[in-house]
Amino acid sequence: MSKKTVRDIAIKGKKVLIRVDFNVPLKDGEISDENRIVEALPTIKYVLEQGGRAIVFSHLGRVKDEADKASNSLKVVAKRLEEHLGQKVTFIPETRGTVLENAISALKDGEVLMFENTRFEDINGKKESKNDPELGKYWASLGDVFVNDAFGTAHRDAASNVGIASNIKQTVAGFLLEKEIKFIGGTLENPQRPFVAILGGAKVSDKIEVIKNLLKISDHVLIGGGMAYTFFKAMGYEIGTSLLEADKVELAKELLELANGKIILGEDVITAKAFDPESEKHVRAIDQIPSDEMGMDIGPRTISKFESYIQEAKTVVWNGPLGVFEFPRFAEGTRSVAYAITEIKDQATTIIGGGDSAAAVIQFGLADGFTHISTGGGASLEYLEGKVLPGIACVDDK
């Protein structure tokens, strides 16, 4: 997939609309994880260095009514961006109107402005999320060119990506979107082999299409986390009080048959009597889980088994934690697999598909050991499913 990037267009003196993904977690009004801001910096800095007039915008959180506005303003994000750039970021607490238009008109080459949360437009009819034609046309009118760098929303057909792209002459990818296309898209199209996919997380239902797509193109699919117990049940094992999607057991059987040996499940698990960080842990073979215990992590034999596949891999794509990593007592499986992947960085392309697995790796301090950590949760999943993402499709082809 060959898409135009910000390098391919003239920028100097132009009003450059930059859609970023600054949907960062906030705790008591403070940013608790700024990774998405940091990842967007190369594109913004490039536009400013080339003499562009940067107009930066994003969504933040869920905005259903007026009461949600106070806790979802991008003002705190604009302040953090200002610190990273080392220059003033003019923040306009509006999503449209004369104040915004005048501020944009006053921008000089190399200056940057951010306007308010695009989802404030969802309060009266989901105009942003449902790609209201008038809103997309209006936002497009504010700039000369459009740079989409928000992979986190690339799976959404919204006014702030597809809507703008439909009403402006040039739409290109920023460096972050380019990276996502290269690593996830490129890897799925032409992986180096052996290609090992690792899937975790809570539910089989969240990853049905991912599993089906990865079974077509990968050599092995290692499955852990809460979703593994539905597969264990499908294999006839008793799983105690472990997480189970009872209505997906038959589907799990079908997937195991379809896999023809490609799906690799664990041999043992770490269990506890309660979903509690202090609960006593036990190592149990998968055919010996007591009726009053639940699976909380993969066990030591499973870790070794998964490591053996990882060590031989030339491509690894991982989506979803393998246990309750938020509880230190039950984080060993996820941590060990993360570490095993960092050990092969020099010989393999290693990609984390966003969401909780990315959060886990960052928490363990292992982020630098991966080729690429995706900034998209839902977008990464849909990309791994092989879907065409609207936020990428709307970017001009080379």
Q: Catalytic residue among 355, 376, 377, 391, which?
A: 355
Across the chain, what does the average pLDDT equal?
A: 95
**What percent of the chain stands above pLDDT 90?**
84
pLDDT in tens, 239-250: 999 999 999 999
Q: Catalytic residue among 61, 110, 378, 386, which?
A: 378
- Per the annotation, the verdict on 179 as an active-site residue is no
Q: Is the CB of residue 142 less than 8 Å from the CB of residue 104?
A: yes
Domain boundary pick from 127, 142, 177: 177
Query: What distance in Å separates the CA atoms of residue 69 and residue 60, rounded to the nearest whole number?
Result: 10
Q: Does residue 137 carry a pLDDT above 80?
A: yes
Q: Does residue 275 carry a pLDDT above 80?
A: yes
What are the residues whose beta carbons fall under 8 Å from the beta carbon of 167, sequence distance 6 or more? Answer: 136, 137, 140, 141
- Per the annotation, the verdict on 378 as an active-site residue is yes
The vertex-3 CA angle with 111 and 5, nearest 5°, equals 20
Query: What distance in Å separates the CA atoms of residue 78 and residue 117, rounded to the nearest whole number?
Result: 11
Domain shared by 238 and 164, yes or no: no
pLDDT in tens, 293-349: 999 999 999 999 999 999 999 999 999 999 999 999 999 999 999 999 999 999 999
Q: Has residue 260 been placed in a domain?
A: yes
- Per the annotation, the verdict on 353 as an active-site residue is no
Q: Does residue 13 carry a pLDDT above 70?
A: yes
- Per the annotation, the verdict on 284 as an active-site residue is no
Q: Has residue 396 been placed in a domain?
A: no
Domain shared by 337 and 250, yes or no: yes
Please give the residue range of the domain that contains residue 231: 191-384
Q: Catalytic residue among 3, 14, 36, 207, which?
A: 36
pLDDT in tens, 194-232: 999 999 998 888 889 999 999 999 999 999 999 999 999
Torsion, Cα of 97, 103, 107, 112 (10° steps): -90
Q: Does residue 1 carry a pLDDT above 70?
A: no
Name residue 398's amino acid. K
Domain shared by 65 and 158, yes or no: yes
Query: What distance in Å separates the CA atoms of residue 292 and residue 275, rounded to the nearest whole number?
Result: 12
Domain count, the chain: 2
What are the residues whose beta carbons fall under 8 Å from the beta carbon of 322, sequence distance 6 or more? Answer: 198, 200, 224, 225, 297, 298, 333, 334, 337
Output the pTM of the full model.
0.88
pLDDT in tens, 154-187: 999 999 999 999 999 999 999 999 999 999 988 8
Residue 285: other Cβ atoms inside 10 A: 13
